[in-house]
Amino acid sequence: MIKKIIIILGCMAFAGLIIGVTRWHQSRKVTVCIDQMQMWEAAAESYCLAEKHGPEEILMLEDLSAYVRHGMAAAVCPCGKQPYAPFSVAMGPVCPNGHDMAPGEARPFKAVPGSKLAGIYEFAKQPKQ
């Protein structure tokens, strides 16, 4: 009888461990996705400043890949197989699996004075030569 109770408790502890590891692994994937979207956003801001594009212009990930550490390998959410869609700096990247890069922030993103995004908006206001 005691042996059965020990076996049952051991199985329950093992099941709890498996569930905990699975949940941790899933939350880690979401964290990686958000980190990747932030990398793509920073790459888009740098690209827009270097190539003189405005914040509303839709950017292709292939064009930005030179600005991202892992290039196109970081173009897919770890929770799925769909790549991030082309995006504008003002709207930011969007995960095809629904992860929010900036929870609680309204889109288009507001440009904080002195930020890269504000520089892109200011540059876009200048007449093209």
**Average pLDDT, rounded, for the chain:** 82
pTM: 0.72
Instruction: Give the residue extent of every domain in the chain.
Output: 2-125
Distance CA 75, CA 33 (A): 9
- For the chain, the maximum distance between any two Cα atoms, rounded to a whole number of angstroms, is 87
Instruction: Determine what percent of the chain is predicted with pLDDT higher than 90.
Output: 30
User: What pLDDT score does 16 carry?
Assistant: 64
- In a 13 Å sphere around the CA of 114, the CA atoms on its Cβ side amount to 0
